Amino acid sequence: MAALALLLCSAAGAYAFTGPAPVALRHGRAGALSQRLSMAATIPKVPFSGVSPTGPSGPTLPAPGEDLEFLEAKPYWDQSGVQVNIAKQKNPLIGKIISVQRIVGPNSPGETCNIIIDHQGQALRTLVCGADSIYRQAPLLGGPVLRCRPPGIDPKKNKPYGVRLYSIASTRYGDDKTGKTTTLCVRRATYWCPELKAEDPAKKGVCSNYLCDSKPGDEISLTGPSGKVMLMPEDDPNMTYIMVATGTGIAPFRSFLRRLFGEGNPAGKNFKGLAWLFLGVANKDSLLYDEEFQVYLRQNPDKMRLDYALSREGPLNKKGGKMYIQDKVEEYADEVFDALDKGAHIYFCGLKGMMPGIQDMLRGVCESKGLNFEEYLEGLKKKGQWHVEVY
């Protein structure tokens, strides 16, 4: 069946970090797991306001005997039928807000919300080339981008507001596993006026604030999905996925990890490789979906690694400065390069400001290994191992 991809990383209301420092938390395939988990226990869990879409103590995992295959291609890893731009601006899908929940702590510099939208599959229908040859809803795959248009008229242009792009943070099944919802991770965009010494409401992000302020039942115009950059090559169950994110750039990787470890779908059941996530944020209160990731880690210690970089909460990098995402990746440069040499795929999502630091770090490592960085990078791109979605 056609698997519909939506490559999306929040462009409006994106999390403004160019890098972060590591919390004392690194999870490997084996070894001192109990020590890592004890360190993770020092990170305060941030309760959702209202009913958590992932359950009171982590993700809603499949019940015994429950199979999630009704939105899978045949075979499940086939992406030849992936469709994009099904809902267009002239005929958008009108989604309805199901829930809006703050997912950061009180000391986070900014507010980030987990927003679940009911899309019902309306106007997103596609022919399933399966044995039954019937029409079914095309799934919204995690990884791509969804376009949202806030209601109202842009006073500067005297016409409807333009669309904003947001990464999909759920899998094709949605957090409720019905295939009729999608989840966005949105940071409220605000502007601090140094003269007023207060936030200037006239300069706030229109769409991000609309979404973060919305209530169940509110409607939002959706178009897309767009992009196929952030898709996993699921035909190889032994693949290593290296994911590097800052802030709300975590969205597609939350969908990756949920598909691999949180649903019991065919891709997850067959996965024998490694999912390695690097996440950079400001402090512990800014960690996104950590409670969910800890569940996956406890259940899959040999298939998952997790490294956090917290820029405002030490420890320092090897040069004595703040620990940003590129510094954290550099700590494991040899392992990362070895994995890439063996065919691993590396993904980057977040603010584009993180990429110069990442590339400078990789350039330095290449030089230490006697490699030409430009040639090395071009080789990864040609082999389809290098995936970037920044804003």
Q: Binding site residues for NADP(+), as ranges? A: 167, 187, 248, 311-312, 322, 350-351, 389
Q: Are 312 and 352 in contact (CB under 8 A)?
A: no
Q: Which of 346, 174, 350, 385 is nearest to 259 (CA)?
A: 174
One DSSP character per residue, 120-175 reads TTTT-EEE--SSS--EEEPPEESSSEEEEE-SSEETTTTEEPPPEEEEB-S-TTTT
CB of 168 within 8 A of CB of 3? no
Asked if 346 contacts 247 with a C-beta cutoff of 8 angstroms, the reply is no
233-389-246-377 Cα dihedral, nearest 10 degrees = 70
Report the binding-site residues.
Answer: 167, 187, 248, 311-312, 322, 350-351, 389
Cα–Cα distance measured from residue 373 to residue 185, given in angstroms and rounded to the nearest whole number: 33
Alpha-helical runs (H) found in 248-387: 251-261, 266-270, 290-299, 325-331, 333-341, 354-368, 373-382
Backbone angles phi, psi at 379, to 5 degrees: -65, -40
**Three state DSSP letters for 98-126:** EEEEECCCCCCCCCEEEEEEECCCCCCEE
- The answer to whether residues 390 and 352 touch, using CB atoms and an 8 Å cutoff, is yes
Residues labelled as active-site residues: 166-167, 349, 389, 391
Q: Which token pair is 95?
A: 């989604």
Give the contacts of 118 (CB within 8 A, at least 6 positions apart). Answer: 95, 96, 97, 98, 180, 181
Q: DSSP letters of 354-384?
A: HHHHHHHHHHHHHHHTT--HHHHHHHHHHTT
